[in-house]
């Protein structure tokens, strides 16, 4: 079998990897059941392989990936913490996987209780009144939150509030999500400490402002100490303050968005609450809101009355539904077991550990890599590889060289306001020993920039493929395998 | 300290000391005192692993699950058989603990499997280009509506009332905030009412949205809907059941411009409604207008074949407020399950699963009608799901069946008041003839 | 960095070649260098009408998108379809690779534009 074969290329007509029962009901002609005009003439070209072929193929594919269990994964903004195995095992209980979303409520009381509890616990953690579990991912939560804000203003007759303020350092999803809710965005600059520029913020406030989307700690990993003033400015202008929870791993049990003055919060259960990222999902992006925004949450919410839990669809002011059924329930199960194993102390220790690890890395590397904001950071630190860039080696090259050391590189070229940005988020899962290994590799690469730049420029050297031609991929898109004529 | 936090207290103190800090408090100096939380969160006391396991097992037991029951409930989430290999493979840590494949050199596993997934979706749907997945079938429809409006620069979509009620709700939510008008059109004998559709078409209609098989399980008039849409220079958006595509004409051939669907049936458990996956496929001319991630083939510096995320300028991390969508994380692991499922069943197996479902559904239908307690509602061809009219109230019927370890069909009156007593029954390849006969026997007794 | 004499330039790094009442519009060498390898271009359609300041099309590299604006009002009479198949031309020969040609009536708009010398100064300030 060719090492880089696609599943289609190892297909042999007649091979099979399934076993289905014979038809035990009287068989009728398919054409008698469905008129021929609706039937397809040629079968889709799907693989024909043995079960072992399939198992080997996907096992081999998996081996080409780097996961959190493989090694250090300090991808900034993504909170690649350890995904506890007990979460996986428990979420796979038949009582969670084999239940239909339209089963009678009396037959799924365990699932409804779990959702109800999760609403309560996430509300407590964020300082909100109620939480919807419906959004499927962080960006989906952002969109939901933005729609809630719009519905709130419209309900109050303030239809002129069509503009959402987004700082220039925000995640790309922020402006895109605001637009999904029908807002126009206004960008405000960051000040020279990476926070919201208060004067710039004041200057855009008007009765057309629907709110401000903020990540705190921000994408530079810095806590905006002016948060109370920011909240005051936005609220005085009649706006709503939105909390992007991508960086919530810094503040669990330390500070609550609700207490900071935020009105709407989304969380990423696949980041902060240890559910795995799955190679790009499924995630879960619950949204919490303060009391006056509760009527606008998506429907249904789980309520409890006379000893039983039920789905409440009677929510006349709700924005409606953003997804079928009740969200990525099975992802919520994993976050639920995580919170139950951590408890209040544990969650605070998570954030302390995450912040400590980030600061440790910043401290140990800042003599070699420029730290544009040299102050205590939160759960992640942002370097600039400008010094190395001046010597002809870019952040991308450094990231690729890290692959040779067995590390997943940090996030690069984000946030946009830092040149040659390298954003490191170690998480609390990592020991000092693994941080030291990473620090050692980073220092060696810096040395190589002077002594052996080719080594860095041509990296990676021992991955299954080298640097891939993204220009070719975009110029002449090949987006599927084609059967040979 | 929790087992999920690596450093010991002593190590933490050493690290602080090394940085010239006295305590953890020094790390949080930027947080103003007035927003610091000075008491513990009000959460339950932490559970050890054995305590957690028994707590969760108790909770799970409060849910009556499909492994102890025969499931005849569908309505958008189907109890198809899932081979053991699927969960075995998606449980490999290299798949499930990885992030989005931003670093292609160490993500070829995810990237190549997505490329295979895209190919399979194109093969099933008859379209040219598929993305790496959406949150679910309903949100894929919402995004398809937005895409169609952007592509043809119009501001209205027509949605068939035979589309899943929850999907219609999601389309509404996605559209109303963007100022897009959503108008529903009716049905006649279980299929879309072409006259009603024609009468509602106008020069501002961007797309017609149809589901096939529709919410009633009936095979829809896709081709006719496409002809009407295209005559008015609007697009046809089809939402389809992927299992049905082993038998049914690919929507691409029937004239659909955008094909989406709920992919749960492909190797993903019911999971109380999620996570599932939405697939999203288009004709080539819309390649640069679609939402979400796309993987493309290319070569590395030594000319070796490899895969990368491509056409990324459509996406939020580059185009920000001008992106085609805000979607970032999708449902990659669910799409991987679908890819593995389609690999295992393959060309013949998928057809067998579809035919078994078709045969068993028709057997169930015929037997139910013969009891005399149920009457036909529509006279139209159906695939694996059908509507009959029950003489006894559906809630009482389902309650009775539950006592016999059967999860009965969907109570159609919840969403279609015009079909009182409507019972929507789904039959996959899973239930045996014996189980079907028990269903029919019990349902006929009432 | 090349700046061709005899062309008009904009602050958004477009060049304009005026021939009679026709204006050919492309992106400058400075612009293509900042974008990197251009992989895709979106052109207007013939007969499309534009006002000064409107987006004429977009130019994309792997990781960036740039709108191309027209500072001249008028109607598109010709587009450079060759670029659709070979967008890399804009990297190789930026001043040959016009995107669209606009027929205009208001010549005063031309006076707002920079000449080669002014544009050179402008670029130095930008860096």
pLDDT of residue A194: 79
Residue ending a domain, among A281, A315, A341, is: A341
Q: What is the pLDDT of residue A1?
A: 42
The verdict on residue C106 lying in a domain is yes
Hey, are the CB atoms on C60 and B322 less than 8 Å from each other? no
Query: Which among A413, A470, A475 is the nearest to C87, CB-wise?
Result: A475
Q: How far is C37 from chain A (nearest CA, A)?
A: 7
Please, are residues B305 and A478 in contact by the beta-carbon 8 Å criterion?
no
Give me the residue label for tokens 């590189």: A409
Average pLDDT (B433-439) is 97
Q: Is residue C109 assigned to a domain?
A: yes
**In chain C, whose CA is at the least distance from the CA of B323?**
C65
| DSSP, residue by residue, B279-331 | EEEE-GGGGGG--S--EEEEEBTTS-EEEEE--GGGSHHHHGGGSS----S--
The pLDDT value recorded for residue A485 is 66
Three-state DSSP state, A164: strand
* Statement to judge: residues A40 and A113 lie in one domain: no
Please state the rounded mean pLDDT for residues A210-214. 97
Tell me the CATH number at A376.
Answer: 3.90.1150.10
Query: What pLDDT, on a 0 to 100 scale, did the predictor assign at position A416?
Result: 86
User: For A2-16, what is the HEC assignment?
Assistant: CCCCCHHHHCCCCCC
Query: Do A384 and A440 belong to one domain?
Result: yes
C63 contacts B319? CB cut-off 8 A: no
- Confidence (pLDDT) at A191: 86
* Geometric angle at alpha carbon B363, from B359 and B364, rounded to 5°: 120
Secondary structure of residue A421 in the 3-state scheme:
strand
Chain A interface includes B332 (CB < 8 A): yes
Distance, in Å, from the CA atom of C16 to the CA atom of C12, rounded to the nearest integer, reads 12
How big is the A-C interface in CB pairs under 8 Å? 15
Q: What is the ipTM of this complex?
A: 0.97
The residue assigned the tokens 């709130």 is: A152
For testing the chain B interface, which of A46, A219, A244 should be mutated: the one with the most B CBs within 10 Å?
A46
Higher pLDDT, B349 or C107: B349
Q: How close B295 comes to chain A (CA, Å)?
A: 6
| pLDDT tens per residue across span B121-180 | 999 999 999 999 999 999 999 999 999 999 999 999 999 999 999 999 999 999 999 999
Measured between beta carbons, the chain B residues lying within 8 angstroms of A324 are: 76, 136-139, 164, 166-167, 170, 262, 273-274, 276
**Residue C64 and residue B322: Cβ atoms within 8 Å?**
no
Same domain, A274 and A402: no
Chain B / chain C CB contacts < 8 angstroms: 15
* Residue B312 to residue C63, Cβ atoms within 8 A: yes
Contact call for B11 and A432, based on CB within 8 A? yes
pLDDT of residue C1: 84
Q: B310 to chain C nearest CA, in Å?
A: 8
Residue A474 to residue C39, Cβ atoms within 8 A? yes
- Where in B39-83 does DSSP place strands (E)? 70-71
If asked whether residues A283 and A385 sit together in one domain, one would say no
Tell me which chain B residue has its CA closest to the CA of residue C38. Answer: B313
Q: What is the mean pLDDT of residues A170-177?
A: 93
Q: How confident is the model at residue A52 (pLDDT cuts 50, 70, 90)?
A: very high
Question: Do A312 and A366 sit in the same domain of this protein?
Answer: no
Which of A81-85, B314-318, C113-117 has the least mean pLDDT? B314-318
Q: Which of A323, A341, A359 is the last residue of a domain?
A: A341
Contact across the interface for C65 and B288, Cβ inside 8 Å: no
- Residue C69 maps to a domain: yes
pLDDT band at B78 (very low <50, low <70, confident <90, very high): very high
Inter-chain residue contact B247 with A329, CB threshold 8 Å: no
What are C22-42's pLDDT values in tens digits? Answer: 999 999 999 999 999 999 999
Residue showing tokens 């100064």: C121
**In-domain check, residue A81:** no
CATH number at C102 reads 2.40.50.100
Of the pLDDT bands very low, low, confident and very high (cuts 50, 70, 90), residue A2 is: low
Residue A466 Cα distances to A11, A109, A397, A412, A458, angstroms: 27, 52, 12, 18, 9
Summarize the confidence of residues A275-286 as an average pLDDT.
97
Q: Is the minimum CB–CB distance between B304 and chain A shorter than 8 Å?
A: yes
Q: What is the tally of structural domains in chain A?
A: 3
Rounded mean pLDDT, B378-385: 97
Q: Model confidence at B319, in pLDDT bands (50, 70, 90)? A: confident
Answer whether residue C126 is part of any domain: no
Both structure tokens of B260: 């989406």
Would you state the pLDDT for residue B69?
94
pLDDT of residue A193: 76
Taking Cα atoms as reference points, which of B339, B243, B121 lies closest to residue A7? B339
Q: Strands B181-185, B205-212: parallel, antiparallel or unpaired by DSSP?
A: unpaired
Residue B359 to residue A23, Cβ atoms within 8 A: yes
Structure confidence at residue A254 (pLDDT) = 98
Domain span holding position C93: 8-117
Interface probe for B, chosen from C45, C60, C63, C66 (most Cβ of B below 10 Å), is C60
Model pLDDT, residue C127: 75
In a domain, C42, yes or no: yes
Q: Å from A482 to nearest chain C CA?
A: 21
Q: How many distinct structural domains can be found in chain C? A: 1
Residue C55: inside a domain, yes or no? yes
- pLDDT tens across C86-95, in order? 999 999 999 9
For B318-380, the DSSP string reads HHGGGSS----S--HHHHHHHHHHHHHHHHHHHHHHHHHHHHHHHHHHHHHHHTTSEEE---S
In a domain, A334, yes or no: yes
Contact with chain A for residue B105, Cβ under 8 A: yes
Do A328 and A265 share a domain, yes or no? yes
**A53 and A98 within one domain:** no
Q: What is the pLDDT of residues A374-395, one digit of tens each?
A: 999 999 999 999 999 999 999 9
- Shared domain for A419 and A434, answered yes or no, is yes
At A76, phi and psi to the nearest 5? -60, 140
Predicted pLDDT of residue A234: 98
Query: How far is the alpha carbon of A214 from chain B, nearest alpha carbon, in Å?
Result: 15
Percent of chain A with pLDDT over 70: 99
In a domain, C99, yes or no: yes
* Chain C positions in Cβ-Cβ contact with residue A470 (cut-off 8 Å): 62
**Are residues C62 and B312, on separate chains, in Cβ contact within 8 Å?**
yes
Distance CA B337, CA B344 (A): 10
| Strand bridging mode B278-282 / B258-262 | antiparallel
B215, B216, B221, B222: CA torsion to nearest 10: 20
Mutate to test the interface with B, among A28, A59, A70, A99 (most CBs of B within 10 A): A99
Contact A324 B164 (CB under 8 A): yes
Neighbours of A203 (CB within 10 A): 10
* DSSP annotation string for A122-157: HHHHHT-SEEE----SHHHHHHHHHHHHHHHHHHTT
Chain C partners (3+ C-beta pairs within 8 A): A, B
Confidence of residue A192 (pLDDT cuts 50, 70, 90): confident
Are A76 and A411 contacting, i.e. CB atoms less than 8 angstroms apart? yes
Average of per-residue pLDDT across A296-316: 97
Chain C residues touching residue A475 (CB < 8 angstroms): 37, 39-40, 87-88
If you count them, how many residues does chain A have? 485
DSSP assignment string, A199-252: HHHHHH-STTEEEEEE-SS-TTS---TTHHHHHHHHHHTT-EEEEEETTGGGTT
pLDDT over threshold 90, residue A3: no
Question: Domain check: are A125 and A225 in the same one?
Answer: yes
Which domain range does residue A52 map to? 7-63
Mean pLDDT across chain A = 96
Size of interface A-B (CB pairs under 8 A): 682
Chains with ≥3 CB–CB distances under 8 Å to A? B, C
Within a domain: A358: yes
pLDDT digits (tens, 9 = 90+) for C41-88: 999 999 999 999 999 999 999 888 999 999 999 999 999 999 999 999
Residues of B in contact with C63 (CB under 8 A): 312-313, 318
Mean pLDDT (chain B, rounded): 97
The answer to whether C63 contacts B322, with C-beta atoms less than 8 Å apart, is no
Set out the domains of chain B in order of their start, with CATH numbers.
9-50 (no CATH), 70-82+347-445 (3.90.1150.10), 85-339 (3.40.640.10)
Residues A409-450: pLDDT tens digits?
999 999 988 999 999 999 999 999 999 999 999 999 999 999
* pLDDT tens by residue, B340-351: 999 999 999 999
């Amino acid at each position: 079998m060719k090492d880089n074969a696609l599943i289609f290329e190892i297909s042999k007509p007649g091979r099979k990897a399934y076993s289905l029962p014979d038809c035990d009901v009287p068989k009728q002609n398919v054409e008698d059941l469905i008129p021929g005009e609706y039937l397809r003439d040629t079968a889709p070209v799907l693989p024909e392989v043995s079960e072992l072929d399939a198992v080997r193929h996907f096992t081999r594919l998996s081996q080409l990936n780097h996961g959190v269990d493989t090694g250090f994964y300090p991808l900034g903004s993504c909170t690649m913490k350890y995904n506890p195995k007990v979460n996986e095992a428990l979420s796979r209980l038949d009582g969670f996987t084999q239940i239909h979303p339209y089963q009678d409520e009396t037959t799924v009381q365990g699932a409804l209780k779990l959702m109800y509890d999760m609403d309560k616990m996430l509300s407590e953690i964020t300082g909100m009144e109620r939480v919807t579990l419906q959004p499927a991912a962080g960006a989906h939560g952002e969109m939901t939150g933005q729609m809630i804000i719009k519905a709130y203003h419209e309900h109050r007759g303030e239809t002129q509030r069509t503009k959402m303020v987004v700082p220039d350092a925000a995640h790309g999803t922020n402006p895109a999500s605001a637009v999904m809710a029908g807002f126009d965005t206004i960008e405000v600059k960051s000040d020279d400490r990476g926070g919201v520029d208060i004067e710039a913020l004041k200057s855009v406030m008007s009765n057309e402002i629907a709110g401000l989307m903020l990540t705190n700690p921000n994408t530079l990993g810095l806590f905006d100490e002016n948060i109370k003033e920011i909240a005051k400015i936005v609220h005085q202008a009649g706006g709503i303050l939105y909390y992007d929870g991508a960086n919530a791993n810094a503040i669990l049990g330390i500070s609550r968005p609700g207490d900071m003055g935020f009105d709407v919060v989304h969380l990423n259960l696949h980041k902060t609450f240890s559910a795995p990222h799955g190679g790009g999902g499924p995630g879960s992006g619950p949204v919490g809101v303060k009391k006056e925004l509760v009527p606008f949450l998506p429907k249904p919410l789980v309520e409890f009355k006379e000893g039983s839990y039920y789905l409440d669809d009677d929510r006349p002011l709700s924005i409606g539904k953003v997804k079928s059924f009740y969200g990525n329930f099975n992802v919520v199960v994993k976050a639920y077991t995580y919170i139950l194993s951590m408890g209040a102390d544990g969650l605070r220790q998570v954030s302390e550990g995450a912040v400590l690890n980030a600061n440790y890395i910043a401290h140990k590397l800042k003599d070699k890599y420029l730290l544009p904001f040299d102050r205590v950071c939160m759960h992640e630190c942002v370097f600039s590889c400008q010094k190395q860039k001046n010597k002809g080696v870019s952040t991308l090259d450094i990231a690729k060289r890290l692959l040779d050391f067995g590390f997943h590189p940090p996030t690069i070229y984000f946030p946009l306001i830092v040149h040659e940005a390298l954003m490191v988020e170690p998480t609390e899962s990592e020991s000092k020993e693994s941080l030291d290994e990473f620090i050692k590799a980073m220092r060696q690469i810096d040395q190589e920039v002077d002594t052996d730049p080719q080594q860095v420029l041509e990296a990676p050297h021992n991955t299954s493929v080298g640097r891939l031609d993204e220009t070719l991929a975009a110029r002449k898109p090949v987006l599927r395998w084609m059967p040979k004529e | 300290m929790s087992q999920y936090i690596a450093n010991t207290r002593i190590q933490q103190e050493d690290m602080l000391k090394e940085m010239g800090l006295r305590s953890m408090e020094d790390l949080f100096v930027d947080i103003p005192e007035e927003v610091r939380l000075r008491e513990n969160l009000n959460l339950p006391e932490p559970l050890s692993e054995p305590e957690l396991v028994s707590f969760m097992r108790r909770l799970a037991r409060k849910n009556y699950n499909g492994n102890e029951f025969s499931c005849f409930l569908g309505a958008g989430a189907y109890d198809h058989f899932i081979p053991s290999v699927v969960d075995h493979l998606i449980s490999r840590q290299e798949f499930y603990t990885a992030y989005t494949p931003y670093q292609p050199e160490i993500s070829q596993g995810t990237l190549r499997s997505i490329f295979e997934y895209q190919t399979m979706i194109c093969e099933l749907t008859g379209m040219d280009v598929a993305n790496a997945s959406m949150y679910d079938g309903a949100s894929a429809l919402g995004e398809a509506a937005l895409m169609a409006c952007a592509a043809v620069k119009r501001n209205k979509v027509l949605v068939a009332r035979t589309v899943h009620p929850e999907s219609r709700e999601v389309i509404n939510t996605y559209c109303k905030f963007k100022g897009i008008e959503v108008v529903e059109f009716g049905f006649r004998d279980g299929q879309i009412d072409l006259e009603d559709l024609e009468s509602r078409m106008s020069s501002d209609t961007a797309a017609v949205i149809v589901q096939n098989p529709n919410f009633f399980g009936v095979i829809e008039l896709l081709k006719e809907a496409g002809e009407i849409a295209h005559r008015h220079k609007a697009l046809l958006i089809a939402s389809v059941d992927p299992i049905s595509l082993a038998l049914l004409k690919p929507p691409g051939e029937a004239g659909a411009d955008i094909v989406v669907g709920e992919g749960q049936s492909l190797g993903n458990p019911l999971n109380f409604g999620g996570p599932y996956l939405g697939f999203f496929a288009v004709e080539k001319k819309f390649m640069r207008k679609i939402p979400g991630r796309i993987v493309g083939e290319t070569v590395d510096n030594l000319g070796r074949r490899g895969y990368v995320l491509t056409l990324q300028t459509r996406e939020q991390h580059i185009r920000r407020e001008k992106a085609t969508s805000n979607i970032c994380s999708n449902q990659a692991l669910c799409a991987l399950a679908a890819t593995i499922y389609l690999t295992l069943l393959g060309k013949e197996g998928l057809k067998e699963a579809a035919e078994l479902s078709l045969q068993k559904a028709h057997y169930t239908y015929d037997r139910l009608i013969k009891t005399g307690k149920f009457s036909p509602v529509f006279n139209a061809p159906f695939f694996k799901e059908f509507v009959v009219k029950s003489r006894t109230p559906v809630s009482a019927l389902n309650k009775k069946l539950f006592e016999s370890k059967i999860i009965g069909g969907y109570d159609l009156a919840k969403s279609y008041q015009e079909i009182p007593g409507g019972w929507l029954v789904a039959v996959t390849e899973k239930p045996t003839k014996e189980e079907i006969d028990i269903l029919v026997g019990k349902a006929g007794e009432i | 960095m090349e700046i061709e004499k005899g062309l008009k330039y904009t602050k958004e790094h477009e060049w304009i070649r005026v021939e009679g009442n026709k204006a050919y519009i492309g992106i400058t060498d400075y612009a293509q260098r900042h974008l990197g390898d251009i992989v895709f271009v979106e052109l207007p359609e013939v007969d499309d009408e534009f006002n000064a300041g409107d987006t004429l099309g977009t130019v994309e590299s792997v990781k960036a998108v740039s709108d191309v604006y027209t500072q001249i009002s008028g109607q598109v009479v010709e587009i450079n379809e060759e670029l659709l198949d070979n967008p890399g031309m804009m990297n190789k020969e930026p001043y040959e690779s016009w995107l669209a040609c606009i027929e205009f009536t208001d010549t005063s708009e031309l006076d707002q534009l920079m000449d080669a010398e002014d544009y050179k100064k402008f670029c130095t300030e930008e860096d």
